[in-house]
Amino acid sequence: MALEDLRLSMILTLAFIFGLTTLAFVFLLDVFGLASPLAALIIAVVFNVGQWLVSPFLVELFYHVRELPYSEAPHVHQALEEVVARSGLREKPKLMIAEVPYPNAFAYGSPLTGNRVAVTRGLLNTLSKEEIAGVLGHEVGHIVHRDVQIMTFVSVLPAFFYILGRMFLYSGGDRDRDRSGVIALGFLSLFIYFILSLANLHLSRIREYYADYHSVKTAPSPSVGAARLMSALAKIVSYTGRMKLQGAELRVAGFKELFIADPDRAVEDMESLEGYQLARRIAERRVTLADKILELFSTHPNIVERLRRLEELGRYEKL
């Protein structure tokens, strides 16, 4: 998928998400006579902006995030500074560490906190400096493309309609006719939740490809950028997969769309890499129909397809 196709797909997906959300808000509030269409639009905007502003604090609380001192990991700060310089950002994002054992990284932020990039303790213990630089290039790509704002903006919307649907289904009405109408609204809310969830997952996969491209583009050369990010992703998937097979409980239920790799799919992705010397020779594996169907319900692209595209990017002399 070319960069122009990725950008167009992202714009169309966002238009669909916000269009459907706005229509649903207006319809549901108008049905119950709770607000006029104009008031419904205002409520929708306030709701979205409010959850965007507070989401960084929830992320830091959930994953035990703190600022990473320069003295504790100077090589990580240096790698981030190099990536930021090549990305053309005016200000270096604040570097944070999440005290969780599995390797991963994520970018997040809001006007209240500024841009932040977090690496996990497991990442520092698993990857080399070059691989960490590849991961940081990916996360800075999310900041450059404003994915941080976009994904925190849309991530709560499906959950809202899920809660609304359950509330309608369990509350019912005083009369049979009222109850049937409320139940219908409940199922409609759950249907909207399902459609928004699929749209969000599609958007999340697009932004991962887009950020991968940025990591490769800002490396000393495309071949170096592709190689170090491929190696990093392979290690992240393999290490996390082994931890899960050994019975480790990974706290990944919330905000996993922010991660560079989906921890919930680590075992499946690890199995996809076995026999191919991790990232090398990955293009030889065929992506099956089952792989493509499973990808529809994942926050991240299929690991085989993702590494294959990185390998293709590495063949360019200049991006």
Q: What is the tens place of the pLDDT at every residue in 182-212?
A: 788 888 888 888 888 888 888 888 889 989 9
Summarize the confidence of residues 218-233 as an average pLDDT.
90
Which range marks the domain in which residue 256 is found?
3-313
44 class by beta-carbon count within 10 Å (0-12 exposed, 13-18 middle, 19+ buried): buried
* pLDDT number for residue 175: 54
In this structure, what is the dihedral angle of CA atoms 143, 139, 62, 194, given to the nearest 10 degrees?
Answer: 80
Looking at residue 276, what is its pLDDT?
Answer: 33
Beta carbons of 31 and 84 less than 8 angstroms apart = no
Active site residues: 139
Burial class, 73, CB count within 10 angstroms (exposed 0-12 / middle 13-18 / buried 19+): middle
* Most distant pair of Cα atoms in the chain: their distance: 70
* 3-state SS assignment for residue 118: strand
What is the total count of domains within the chain? 1
Least confident of 172-176, 246-250, 274-278: 274-278
48 versus 220: the higher-pLDDT residue is: 220
pLDDT value of position 72: 95
In a domain, 318, yes or no: no
In a domain, 211, yes or no: yes
Kindly report the pTM of this predicted structure.
0.76
Average pLDDT, the chain: 79
Question: What is the tally of helices (H) and strands (E) in the chain?
Answer: 12, 4
- pLDDT above 70: percentage of residues in the chain: 72
- Please check whether residue 266 lies inside any domain of the structure: yes
pLDDT at 281 over 60: no
Whether 74 is in a domain gets the answer yes
Q: Of residues 281 and 167, which shows the higher confidence score?
A: 167
Of the pLDDT bands very low, low, confident and very high (cuts 50, 70, 90), residue 275 is very low
Is residue 236's pLDDT more than 70? yes
Better pLDDT: 99 or 266: 99
- The pLDDT-based confidence of 3 (bands split at 50, 70, 90) is low
**Any domain includes 319:** no
160-23-7 Cα angle (round to 5):
85
* Confidence band, pLDDT 50/70/90 cuts, at residue 78: very high
- 232 within domain boundaries: yes
Statement: residue 164 has pLDDT above 80: no
Q: How confident is the model at residue 274 (pLDDT cuts 50, 70, 90)?
A: very low
* Range scoring the smallest mean pLDDT among 52-61, 155-164, 276-285: 276-285
Greater pLDDT, 71 or 50:
71
Residue pair 13/154 in contact (Cβ under 8 Å)? The answer is: no
Higher model confidence: residue 285 or residue 262? 262
In a domain, 134, yes or no: yes
State the pLDDT at residue 260. Answer: 77
pLDDT over threshold 60, residue 28: yes
In angstroms, what CA-CA distances link 35 with 30, 32, 41?
6, 8, 10
The torsion angle over the Cα atoms of residues 78, 92, 212 and 119, rounded to 10 degrees, is 70
Which helix (H) or strand (E) segment holds residue 67: the answer is strand 65-67
Instruction: Indicate if the pLDDT at residue 65 is higher than 90.
Output: yes
Residue 41 token pair: 């639009």
What is the DSSP annotation of 23-52?
A: HHHHHHHHHTTSS-HHHHHHHHHHHHHHHH
Residue 249: the pLDDT is: 67
Which range is most confident: 194-203, 263-272, 285-294?
A: 194-203
Residue from 109, 111, 116 nearest 136 by CA: 116
Please choose, from the candidates 135, 113, 110, 137, the residue with its C-alpha nearest in 3D space to the C-alpha of residue 124.
135
Q: How far apart are CA 295 and CA 232, in angstroms?
A: 21
> What pLDDT score does 176 carry?
56
- On whether residue 264 sits in a domain, the answer given is yes
What DSSP character marks residue 114?
E
Predicted pLDDT of residue 157: 72
Q: What is the pLDDT of residue 266?
A: 66
